Every structure is written in C-alpha cells, then in structure tokens.
Amino acid sequence: DAGITQSPRYKITETGRQVTLMCHQTWSHSYMFWYRQDLGHGLRLIYYSAAADITDKGEVPDGYVVSRSKTENFPLTLESATRSQTSVYFCASSGLAGAPSSYEQYFGPGTRLTVT
C-alpha cells in the first residue's frame, strides 16, 4: 500500500547497543523528517533531509545518525543507545522534488523505543 511506513513498531534494546529505525515512503516526496515525542517536550525534530544525500540537523540531533541513499528511505541510527533516548519516534515526509516548502507533512505510525 502507498504511504509512509516505519519499522519496527516496537523495540526494546539495552544501553550501549546500536539500533536502527527504518522509514519508507512511496510518494517520492523530496523531504523526510525524524521527530521524537516525549511527555513534557512534545514533538522535536531530530534530523531532516531535503533530498537523497542531503541531510541536516534539527533541534535534538546528538546521539543520532541518518543517511538517505535513496529518496524513499530515511533510516535513523542510534549509535550507542542511552536511557534518555527512550521515546516514540515519528518519521514524516512532504513535498515534491524541486518545489518550495509549504507542503503538508505526512507522518508514519511511529516506533516506540525503550532503552533499558
């Protein structure tokens, strides 16, 4: 089905382990985003990408790595997971290649990550 998907939906990992969250969209949207949602902080932008091979930091990038070798995929890697990275992670996409911003962002269903 068309849309934006995330995997896994739930993940439990231990402190210090590397974990990768996957995001895939079928709309050929140029922009993709990663957010985390925490009680008391709302949704905060981690990283975003304007196109394949173009990424930029958001508000809370420390401890995360992203890549975008293909337009449709935007994986988020926690290099060495910490308890403070326990959160719900949302991927989003928007826009058409070459278009300016001001397009709606469409969100995936989220990944609930617990770091023990």
Partner 1 sequence: KQEVTQIPAALSVPEGENLVLNCSFTDSAIYNLQWFRQDPGKGLTSLLLIQSSQREQTSGRLNASLDKSSGRSTLYIAASQPGDSATYLCAVEYGNKLVFGAGTILRVKS
In the complex, which residues of this chain contact partner 1 (CB under 8 A)? 31, 33, 42-45, 48, 50, 58, 90, 92, 101-110
Bridge partners (DSSP) of residue 56 are 48
Q: DSSP letter for 84, please.
A: G
Cβ distance to partner 1 smaller for residue 34 or 85 = 34
Q: How far is the CB of 51 from partner 1 (least distance, A)?
A: 11
- Whole-angstrom Cα distance, residue 66 to residue 1? 25
48 vs 115, beta carbon nearer partner 1: 48
Name which of 31 and 64 has its Cβ closer to partner 1.
31
CB of 30 to partner 1, least distance (A): 10
Helix (H) or strand (E) holding 7: strand 4-7
Work out the widest C-alpha separation in the chain, in whole angstroms.
Answer: 42
Question: Measured in whole angstroms, how far is the alpha carbon of residue 28 from the centre of its chain?
Answer: 16
Q: Minimal distance in Å, beta carbon 103 to partner 1?
A: 8
